């Protein structure tokens, strides 16, 4: 069995990462951190997932969030979509495999992918409202969020949601509060079948290899890992039985990329002014130094260059 996540501590302990580990900060500049944290990742194995929604329950409970009691909409999904409280939801797809004519019930836990190249962060005009740590976690600082919703537009996976109560954007934090004390995310701890596991990104990739081998032995010849290069890879990855067709898993994008962000840049100009834009470009440069070549599309880069007067 994959090593279970440990029990959370109750004795006070210092946070294992924080402000000094930021590699990017929306609409602002950060100094390169003195150390590089190990890259962490969550691996979601759709072939082990039984759609029990333990991840949804654990997420609500740990984060002290509650979802309103809704309605049945003719499906088992509930709530139907992500909300400012439901930072993760299970999406159920009934798919008839054209090759075997067998029904396959494809169940995918949806939520923030913690992209290496976070479209949300790049689109965000509010300085410091979205940050990225060197362990891969992309987090929102709600005190700085201005509720403009550009993060949603910037996200290739359509994840953040704006709260009607406080007009701020919410999404999965990868349980940054738990990771900071040496724990894994609440969903991964709870997941009954270990369809969700958490560890270093390398460890997760290795574990995925084993899972893919097992799936291939069961006739899933296209089983594979979903770690899309279009966003620089992600810190939430999937094992898919049909990795050649991610779209059958409730429209998981086949080749996600940050959308052309011209409008976003205009928005940045409008709300945060040119200073922020300069900072943004600087973040991109820093990222280039720390993490190797930036994988934002050429088009995006050109837009950025044009708007910032050839900053980087």
Partner 1 sequence: MNMELSRRQFVKGASAGMVSTTLGALGFGGIEAALAASIRPYKLSGVTETRNTCTYCSVACGIIMYSKGDLAKGEQADIIHIEGDADHPTNRGTLCPKGAALLDMVHAQTRTKYPQIRKPGSDKFERVSWEVALDRIARLMKDDRDKNFIAKSADGVTVNRWLTTGFLAASATTNETAWATYKVVRSAGMLAFDNQARV
Partner 2 sequence: MTNSWTDIKNTDLVVIMGGNAAEAHPCGFKWVTEAKANRGARLIVIDPRFTRSASVADVYAPIRQGTDIAFLLGVIKYCIDNDKVQWDYTKSFTNAPYIVKEGFAFQDGLFTGYDEARRDYNRSTWEYELGPDGYVVVDATLQNPRCVWNLLKQHVSIYTPEMVERICGTPKDKFLKVAQMISETSSPTRTMTSMYALGWTQHSKGSQNIRAMAMLQLILGNIGVRGGGMNALRGHSNIQGLTDIGLMSNLIPGYLTIPTEKEATFNAYMSTRGFKPLRPDQMSYWQNYKKFFVSFLKSMWGDAATAENDFAYDYLPKLDVPGYDVLRAFDMMHQGKLNGYFCQGFNPLLSFPNRKKVTSALSKLKFLVVMDPLQTETARFWENHGDHNDVETSKIQTEVIELPTTCFAEDTGSLVNSGRWLQWHWAGGTPPGEAKHDTWIMAQIYMRLKALYQKEGGAVPEPIVNLSWSYKDPNEPSPDELAKELNGAALEDITDPNDPTKVLIAKGKQLPGFAAMRDDGKTNGACWIYSGSYTEAGNQMARRDNSDQDETGAFSKWAWSWPANRRILYNRASADINGKAWDPSRKLIEWDGTKWSGYDVPDIAPGAKPGVVGPFIMNPEGTARLFTRGMMRDGPFPAHYEPFESPVVNVTAPKVRGNPAARVFRGDMEQFGNAKEFPFAATSYRLTEHFHFWTKHAQINASLQPEFFVEISEQLAKEKNIQSGAWVRVWSQRGSVKAKAVVTKRIVPLTCDGKTVHIVGIPLHWGFTGAARKGFGPNSLTPYVGDANIETPEYKAFLVDIEPIAGPVA
Q: Which residues bind partner 2 (CB under 8 A)?
A: 1, 47-54, 56-57, 60-61, 66-76, 78-79, 94, 96, 102-105, 107, 192-195, 210-211, 214, 217-218
Tokens of 72: 């049945």
Which does residue 180 bind out of partner 2, partner 1, none, counting CB within 5 to 8 angstroms by kind? partner 1
Nearer to partner 2 among residue 85 and residue 234 (C-beta): 85
Minimum distance between the CB of residue 77 and partner 1, rounded to whole angstroms?
13
Helix axes 298-308, 262-291, angle to 10 degrees: 100
Minimum distance between the CB of residue 244 and partner 1, rounded to whole angstroms?
31
* DSSP code for 115: B
For Cα atoms 45, 160, 283, give the angle at the middle one, nearest 5 degrees: 95
Which does residue 91 bind out of partner 2, partner 1, none, counting CB within 5 to 8 angstroms by kind? none
Cross-strand bridge partners of residue 108: 91
Which does residue 171 bind out of partner 1, partner 2, none, counting CB within 5 to 8 angstroms by kind? none
CA distance 187 to 236: 12
CA distance 149 to 188: 28
Nearer to partner 1 among residue 188 and residue 272 (C-beta): 188
Minimum distance between the CB of residue 58 and partner 2, rounded to whole angstroms?
9
Minimum distance between the CB of residue 69 and partner 2, rounded to whole angstroms?
5
Which does residue 38 bind out of partner 1, partner 2, none, counting CB within 5 to 8 angstroms by kind? partner 1
Minimum distance between the CB of residue 61 and partner 2, rounded to whole angstroms?
6
Tokens of 24: 């990017």
Which does residue 99 bind out of partner 2, partner 1, none, counting CB within 5 to 8 angstroms by kind? none
107: CB partners within 8 A, 6+ apart: 46, 49, 50, 51, 90, 91, 92, 93
Cross-strand bridge partners of residue 290: none
């Amino acid at each position: 069995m994959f090593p279970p996540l440990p029990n959370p501590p109750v004795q006070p302990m210092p946070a294992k990462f924080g402000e000094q580990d930021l590699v990017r900060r929306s609409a602002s500049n950060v100094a390169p951190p003195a150390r590089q944290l190990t890259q962490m990742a969550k691996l979601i194995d759709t072939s082990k997932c039984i759609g029990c929604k333990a991840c949804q329950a654990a997420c609500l409970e740990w984060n002290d969030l509650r979802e309103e009691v809704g309605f049945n909409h003719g499906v088992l999904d509930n709530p139907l979509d992500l909300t400012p409280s439901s930072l993760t939801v299970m999406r159920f797809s009934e798919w008839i495999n054209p090759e075997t004519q067998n029904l396959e019930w494809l169940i995918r836990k949806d939520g923030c992918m913690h992209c290496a190249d976070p479209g949300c962060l790049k689109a965000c005009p509010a300085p410091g409202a979205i940050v990225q740590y060197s362990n891969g976690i992309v987090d929102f600082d709600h005190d700085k969020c201005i509720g403009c919703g550009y993060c949603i537009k910037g996200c290739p996976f359509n994840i953040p949601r704006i709260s009607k109560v406080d007009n701020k954007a919410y999404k999965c934090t990868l349980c940054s509060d738990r990771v900071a004390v040496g724990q894994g995310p609440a969903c991964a701890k709870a997941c009954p079948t270990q369809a969700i596991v958490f560890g270093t990104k390398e460890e997760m990739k290795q574990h995925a290899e084993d899972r893919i081998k097992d799936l291939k032995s069961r006739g899933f010849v296209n089983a594979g890992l979903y770690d899309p290069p279009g966003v620089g890879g992600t810190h939430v990855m999937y094992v898919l039985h049909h990795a050649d067709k991610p779209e059958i898993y409730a429209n998981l994008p086949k080749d996600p990329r940050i959308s052309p962000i011209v409008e976003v840049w205009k928005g940045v100009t409008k709300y945060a002014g040119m200073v922020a834009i300069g900072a943004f470009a600087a973040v991109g440069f820093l990222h280039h130094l720390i993490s190797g070549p930036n994988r934002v599309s050429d088009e995006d880069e050109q837009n950025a260059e044009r708007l910032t007067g050839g900053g980087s």
